[in-house]
Structure 1
Amino acid sequence: MDSDVGATTTPASAPGTPKPASGLRALVVEDETSLAKLLGSYLEREGFETSLAHDGLQAVLTARDVDPDVVILDLGLPTLDGIEVCRQIRTFSDAYVVMLTARSEEVDTLIGLSVGADDYITKPFSPRVLMARIQTMLRRPRSPREAEDSHDDLRFGELRVDVPGRDVWLGGEPVALTRTEFDLLAALAERPRMAFSRRQLIDHVWGQTWVGDEHLVDVHIGHLRRKLGDDATEGRFVRTVRGIGYRMGTGE
């Protein structure tokens, strides 16, 4: 594999008619330069301003520089692996992160997701499938309620959720959530009496066309609970419903 270090913008060469510029930025982090260029060209055809990085250290520096909306991140990278890159990016960015991995073992997938990846795809894959995954993420309804509806905050004890404004406070202090964590919380908070299955949460947050291991919901719920100072046993804010999935807690 070519491990040249660099970050560039790639001219579009994927088949099809280019879409108008979307104003969105994408970062492809992949040490196989031919694959990185191919993915970059597909993203540019979708209207993204696209940058490439070929090793982990350059990926972090580029992410700070270009502030991407979407990061396509390979797991196996020189200098820093994808896990560490994702961990570092999550300290300053809420970009959607899709992990690419040649390893099919579930443990690798869950490790990747545990540092804040929103989705994953296993090699080999179709670039068109990856583009569809990305477009699905970007089309996520930011709340089940339309933005023009009532702007009243949703309250669960000391937890306050402003769904249209995408803000969360706990005990009066703001809580920093990733986009996926917020989308999960919003889905639960909007229907606090409903017990959601994993598949229903997948449909709400990732979209009905998403295909993969539904247990990724558990990983993101675990992150959400930790950030809210909650756990599976107490379930103040997110309760486990045995045999079904999850529902919103009362905050008590």
Structure 2
Amino acid sequence: MAEDVAVVIEDGEDIRELLAQVLTQGGFEVYSAADGASGVELVRAHDPIVVTIDVNMPGIDGFETARQVRAISTAYIVMITARGDEIDTLVGLQTGADDYIVKPFRPRELRARIEAMMRRPRVIASTHPSPPLPPVAEAERVPHPASGGGASPTATMPAPVEQVSSVPWSELEHEDSALEHRGLRLESGARVVELDGAEVELTRSEFDILRMLLSSGRRVVSKMQLAGMLRGERGEPDHYLSEHDARAIEVHVANLRRKLGESPSDPRWIETVRGVGYRRTS
């Protein structure tokens, strides 16, 4: 059986080689590019299942590269950035990326996020197999550009920022049935969303969040549960939510509302429960 293909688009040679090493150890056949235009051509030529894209590149930046990749591929896209700014996260996810990760990070974190993405369906049916990545020894920490290429001696651990208790995780499993609410129809099996009869194009994460909220009825779904679902966790999720995951969930929900034409102050489908998460409107 042919290996899954990954494309690494990164202008920093050290980081590019490290990402290629991590993905190769995970069983991928890896192709690398030092700029966006070359990376898009590699995606076109090799039909990868995973693409990592650095945000800050000369010429075509990572956001435009992601847009061009998404126009020709259903690959899982991970944006890699040296900044944790909200605007970077927002723009990156709006371009069609499935996840983002902030430098400096540990390669095993990247591996875990790719594992979670590959457990979720791609937007379009694919013949790519999606086995779990085998465990490998952790590589050196990805260097932060400001450090001059050296590895940081300490790890960045996400700070616990939220502890909640809401609807049991086991009650939020989904069937392949259609869900309807106030003119919004979601078909899980076909992964199609229609609003008043018109199809709405959503990313994988937006679709899965919407499905989870619609299927929960009026019960609150916490950000922690949504993050766990996107990571592919089953059973009760961890009791803490990192700032990284909280920000990603907030951006996904903001993008989802924008595509549905919903105002957070006067929601038609998704209510915000401050300090906890979200729930379907009544």
Aligned to 1:168: 193
> Does residue 48 of structure 1 match 2:28?
yes
Which one-letter code corresponds to 2:266 in the other structure?
E
Per-residue deviation, 1:108: 3.4
Look up the equivalent residue of 1:134 and give its one-letter code.
Answer: I
Q: Deviations over 1:109-128 (max 9, x none)?
A: 44433433332222233222
Residue number among 126, 140, 143 corresponding to 2:106 in the alignment: 126
Q: CA deviation at 1:28?
A: 0.9
Check 1:24–1:236 CA distance in 2 against 1; reply closer, same or farther (3 A cut).
Answer: farther
Question: Structure 1 residues 161-170 or 104-113, which shifts more?
Answer: 104-113
Q: What's the offset of the Cα at 1:101?
A: 1.7
CA distance in 1, matches of 2:69, 2:266: 30
Rounded Cα–Cα distance in structure 2 between residues aligned with 1:186 and 1:192: 11
Inter-partner Cα distance in structure 2 for 1:224 and 1:67: 27
Report the counterpart of residue 277 of structure 2 in structure 1: 245
Matched, 1:113 2:142: no
For residue 197 of structure 2, what is the amino acid of its counterpart? G
- For residue 104 of structure 1, report the CA deviation from its aligned partner: 4.0
Match among 157, 174, 191 for residue 145 of structure 1 = 174
Residue 103 of structure 2 aligns with an amino acid whose one-letter code is K
1:94, 1:179 within 8 Å by CA — same for their partners in 2?
A: no
2:217 alignment partner in structure 1: 192
Unaligned runs of 5+ residues in structure 1 are 1-19
For 2:41, give the aligned amino acid. Answer: L
What is the identity, as a one-letter code, of the residue corresponding to 1:35? I
Taking the aligned partners of 1:53 and 1:134, their CA distance within structure 2 comes to 19
- The structural deviation recorded for 1:55 is 0.5
Equivalents in 2 of 1:85, 1:28: separation in Å? 12
Moved more, 108-117 or 30-39: 108-117
1:236 pairs, out of 261, 265, 268, with 268
**Aligned-partner SS, 1:181:** helix
Distance 2:72 2:259 in 1: 16
Question: Are 1:179 and 2:204 matched, yes or no?
Answer: yes
Tell me if structure 2 keeps the 8 A contact 1:198–1:215. no
Change (3 A) 1:194 1:104: same
In structure 2, distance between residues paired with 1:140 and 1:249? 26
- Corresponding letter in the other structure for 1:241: V
Q: Distance in 2 between matches of 1:56 and 1:40?
A: 16
Give the alignment's Cα RMSD to 1 decimal.
Answer: 2.7
Q: CA deviation at 1:220?
A: 0.8
Q: Secondary structure at the match of 1:80?
A: coil
Q: Secondary structure at the match of 2:266?
A: coil
1:39 aligned onto 2:19: yes
Residues 29 and 72 in structure 1, CA contact (< 8 A), matched pair in contact too: yes
Matches within 5 A, 1:206-225: 206=231, 207=233, 208=237, 211=242, 212-225=244-257
Letter of the aligned partner of 2:267 in structure 1?
Answer: G
| Cα offset, 1:175, TM superposition | 1.7
Alpha-carbon distance between aligned partners in 2 of 1:238 and 1:64, rounded to the nearest angstrom: 37
Q: 2:5 is matched by which residue type in structure 1? A: R
Task: Give the drift of 1:62.
Answer: 2.9
**Could you say which residue in structure 2 is the equivalent of 1:16?**
none
Deviations 1:45-66 (A, max 9, x none): 3232322221022223333443
Distance 2:201 2:195 in 1: 10
Q: Residue 247 of structure 1 aligns to a residue in which SS?
A: strand
Give TM-score, length-normalised by structure 2. 0.70
Classify 1:200/1:49 alpha carbon distance in 2 versus 1 (closer, same or farther; 3 Å). same
Aligned to 1:12: none
Number of equivalenced pairs: 226
CA distance in 1, matches of 2:253, 2:246: 12
Per-residue CA distance 1:134-174 (angstroms, 9 max, x = gap): 1122224899325xxxx431111221111132111122222
Per-residue Cα deviation, 1:67-124 (whole angstroms, up to 9, x for no partner) = 3322211111121111222233344444322221223444434443343333222223
The alignment-based identity, stated in percent, is 44
